[in-house]
Structure 1
Amino acid sequence: MSEISLNYPAFLSLNQSAEVANEVTDTDDIQVINHQQWNYEGGWKNVLNNFRLLIQPIMMLWLIFPWLDILPNSKLGLGLNQLISEINQCQSFFYSG
């Protein structure tokens, strides 16, 4: 049986997200790293936590979307869609290679 090490290059590359995040200086870009729960430390748990922060708005929209058909609230739907589209522009925070 083979063992998976957290020192494997694929996992080590995930830790580069904090380094890449520090390089972003354009003020027009959304600064997700300013989130109060964003974790700058290395390690897979911290990367997983940061990823969770990025996908939470999408999950919330999926949960609330059926209710928007019953109780329409266009401002809430538009706000969640805007938040999701801005988060989708944060591709540079996770290593894609």
Structure 2
Amino acid sequence: MQKRVKYFLIRLHYLTVNSNHERLHQDREIIYGKRGLRQYWEITTDKETISDDSTWLVMTKIPKINYKKVGKIYQIRAWVEYGFKQSKSELCWADFRVTNYAQIEKWWQLVMSAYLMVSLHSDSFNPMVTPVSEKFQQHDWWNERKGWKNILNNLRLIIKPYLSFNIISRWLKVFPIPQLSLGLPRLINLMNEFDCLRYFVYFWDNFYYSSA
């Protein structure tokens, strides 16, 4: 049996785009069958043609939300998508082209897990993060800025000894150099002391992060 689709009246309201400009938005709720916790909305700036370029469909799961709140929440959608795209690019999301769904899902989980790990090291995202030891900050390439990409670059410095050791370990079997075989693991152990999230595990129930 086909569900009945109900379109509500279009509501007009202004949304502030920036400090000097407001844009007229036209929203309406669409109900498929009976209204449930999930609500569906059509938001457009072009009431006459409702073109794809000026219209988007939104699904919400927010109790007692109204059309004005929907517009305010999703007006920054483009900026969120833009920033998120930059982060995914830094994590090499687009470097591998896979078509198999299972492979896409696995690669997505890896990228998003890395994104979550970097984000948890940001004090603006996670106020409980432990400050970085001054010893680590003495590295010539350490970046003291607070941006997401700056944190990513610092974490790359932390894992560099481990990656380097794995690259040369096979050569050390061919040409044994005790100083490297013993020195690099010692350096890796020192890097393992970089644990800005060591107290985070005790407060995990207070967070609802997801890597998917």
TM-score by length of structure 2 reads: 0.35
Partner of 1:65: 169
Checking the alignment, whether the CA contact within 8 Å between 2:121 and 2:151 is kept in structure 1 is yes
Which residue of 20, 36, 48 corresponds with 2:152?
Answer: 48
Corresponding residue of 2:131? 20
Please tell me the residue identity of whatever aligns with 1:92: C
**Partner of 1:32 in structure 2?**
136
TM-score under structure 1 normalisation?
0.71
Aligned twin of 2:191: 87
CA distance in 1 between counterparts of 2:190 and 2:151 reads: 19
- Deviation of the 1:76 alpha carbon: 0.8
Aligned to 1:28: none
> Are the structure 2 counterparts of residues 39 and 95 from structure 1 closer, same or farther at C-alpha, using a change threshold of 3 Å?
farther
For 1:43 and 1:65, the matched residues in 2 are separated by 34
Where structure 2 has 5 or more consecutive residues not aligned to the other structure, the ranges are 1-57, 59-76, 84-115, 205-212
Corresponding residue of 2:179? 75
Alpha-carbon offset, residue 12 of structure 1: 5.7
Name the structure with the higher helix share.
1
C-alpha separation between the residues in 2 aligned to 1:72 and 1:19? 39
What's the CA shift string for 1:47-93, capped at 9, x where partnerless?
11000100000000000000011000011111101100011011127
Which structure has the larger Rg over C-alpha atoms?
A: 2
2:161 and 2:188 in contact (8 A); partners too: yes
Q: Secondary structure at the match of 1:80?
A: helix
Q: Which runs of 4+ in 1 moved over 3 A?
A: 3-6, 10-13, 93-97
Distance between the aligned counterparts of 1:56 and 1:12, measured in 2? 19
Instruction: Tell me the CA shift for residue 33 of structure 1.
Output: 1.1
Q: 5+ unaligned residues in a row in structure 1: which ranges?
A: 26-30
* One-letter identity of the residue aligned with 1:57: P
Structure with more strand by fraction: 2
- % of aligned pairs identical? 30
